[in-house]
Amino acid sequence: MERNTEAAIEAMHRFQNATKQLEEQREVARKYLEMVNSKIQEDLMALEEEIVNSRRSLEAFITQENDGKQFKVPGLGSAYLTTRRSLKINMEEFIDAIAPVDSPRIYETKYSETKAKELAKEYLDRGQLLNGVEQIETVSMSVRIQ
């Protein structure tokens, strides 16, 4: 029985040592993974910053040096700007503005922002910016790499 007791005590010591080593290794692994993750994040941030700076440079070149035209580099790709215009409508102000000018169309525009935008665009096409209408211009750049 004494032999079995010694074996059990030995097993407990091995268990204790293995548990301690496992926890130590987990801590080492956690610290290593934090370090690797931190380095990866730094590298990603640097690359993202480089992309932003490159896009700004390209956009400035296209706008200032290339008259806003598409810039192509054979074998590399192309970059171009796109301008999108949209309208923002304040319905109360817009209805008040069209009432004296276009009263038959008030009802169809009063309950439909889509119809109001269509009518506002008609007036803009004729050179009139009515009260309650705001033009929003968004310029974006597309870059295609081959």
| Domain map (residue ranges) of the chain | 1-67, 71-145
CA distances for 125 relative to 122, 138, 142, angstroms: 5, 19, 28
pLDDT at 60 (0 to 100): 93
Can you state the percent helix, strand and coil of the chain, rounding each to 5? Answer: 65, 20, 15
3-state secondary structure of 11: helix
Q: Give the residue among 145, 139, 143, 144 at the shortest CA–CA distance from 82.
A: 139
CA atoms 123, 126, 127, 128: torsion sign: negative
Predicted TM-score (pTM) of this structure: 0.57
pLDDT at 107 (0 to 100): 64
Query: In terms of C-beta density within 10 A (0-12 exposed, 13-18 middle, 19 or more buried), how is residue 116 classed?
Result: buried
Q: pLDDT tens track of the chain, all 146 residues?
A: 788 899 999 999 999 999 999 999 999 999 999 999 999 999 999 999 999 999 999 999 999 999 889 999 999 999 999 988 899 999 888 888 887 766 666 666 667 888 888 888 988 899 888 889 999 989 888 999 98
CA atoms 129, 131, 133, 139: torsion sign: positive
